[in-house]
Structure 1
């Protein structure tokens, strides 16, 4: 069985995990791993990365994933942000599954 039991479980957990896991530290760590020897990524790029992975970015990411995996989405534009908020508010009835292990 996958990490999420159903689509509501996925919608209530995954976008929150996306926002929590996309930090400047994770970006810089990943980029350092692929950088040529003796070079390291600029801290400013990590900051920009984190700034661009906000709520709006998590809605877009979730919508695209939903289309790719489920063949459609209940998070359509232009009201996608409102629907995403509705899914995330369901977390009270759904078990919270933190991001990276």
Structure 2
């Protein structure tokens, strides 16, 4: 069975986990694995990556995932950021399942 029991649990938890897990450290660690020997990624690139994985990016990621996997998004295509905020506001009624931490 998957990590989330239903789609609402996914919609609330996954975007939050995406934001929390998308750190400059995780980016640099991943880039270090694929970097040519003797080279390492610049710290500045990690910081820029983390800046670009904010709330708007997580809402866009959730919308695109829904479109790809289910053919339509439960948060809609117009004003999906506001709809994502409303969805995350329901977290008190849904079990919080932390990401990789």
Q: Normalising by structure 2, what TM-score?
A: 0.95
TM-superposed deviation, 1:90: 1.1
Q: Which has the higher contact order (CA 8 A, sep 6+)?
A: 1
Alpha-carbon RMSD: 1.0
Runs of 4+ in 1 over 4 A off after TM superposition: none
SS in 2 for 1:41: coil
User: 2:52 corresponds to which residue?
Assistant: 52
Deviation at 1:70, TM superposition (A): 1.5
Unaligned 5+ residue runs, structure 2? none
Structure 1 position 78 matched with structure 2 position 78: yes
2:4 aligned partner: 4
Q: For residues 44-76 of structure 1, what are the alpha-carbon distances to aligned partners after superposition, in whole Å with 9 as ceiling and x for unaligned? A: 000000000000000110001111112211222
Query: Quick one: distance in 2 between partners of 1:69 and 1:78?
Result: 18
- Aligned equivalents of 1:78, 1:70: Cα separation in 2: 17
Q: Give the count of matched residue pairs.
A: 101
1:63 aligns with 2:51: no
Q: Which runs of 5+ in 1 are unaligned?
A: none
Compute the TM-score of the two structures, normalised by the length of structure 1.
0.95
Q: 2 CA distance for matches of 1:55 and 1:91? A: 15
CA distance in 2, matches of 1:54, 1:60: 10
